[in-house]
Amino acid sequence: MIIKKEPLVPERIRKIEKGFGFIPTRFLTGGFFSSLSQHEKLIYFLLVLASDRDGLSYYSQDKMSSLLELSLDEFLEGRNALIRKSLIAFNGLIFQVLSLPAKPLENITKRELVTREDFLGNDSLSIRQFLNKSLGDGQSPDKIKGATNGQG
């Protein structure tokens, strides 16, 4: 039996207009959708809607977490998972929705930050790095150690 597809409400057919976001069908059929958590899906879909033709979005993390009603921790966890899964990029200011990788990257695990070196090299939101970059006066992280670990 052949199903003839006709619009259910012909006067309301979508049209591609300025600012139209899209998600490739392969996002669903290729297993990407099912590989994401609920928070990851929310963040990804909002970025798709908010991005320009090159996938760039200037929405702030605060704005997005507020719109999605996610705590900052929930937002950061979802954002970081999408980066690890190679679906988005983030430079600290601008997000980019990337073209889909060949297959979903489901088995990439979160790297545990345990040692001082782990935090210095891999935690972009750490207070230590923020202070070091903000001070811009050439102070080494050791000189501001007391500000981040409670020591004087």
What is the architecture, at CATH level 2, of domain 24-97?
Orthogonal Bundle (1.10)
Q: Is 78 in a helix, a strand, or coil? A: helix
pLDDT digits (tens, 9 = 90+) for 12-49: 887 777 777 788 899 999 999 999 999 999 999 999 99
Q: Are 88 and 77 in contact (CB under 8 A)?
A: no
Residue 144: the pLDDT is 42
Burial of 34 (0-12, 13-18, 19+ CB in 10 A): exposed
More reliable by pLDDT, 1 or 46: 46
pLDDT digits (tens, 9 = 90+) for 89-116: 999 899 999 999 999 986 444 555 556 6
In the chain, domain spans: 24-97, 116-149
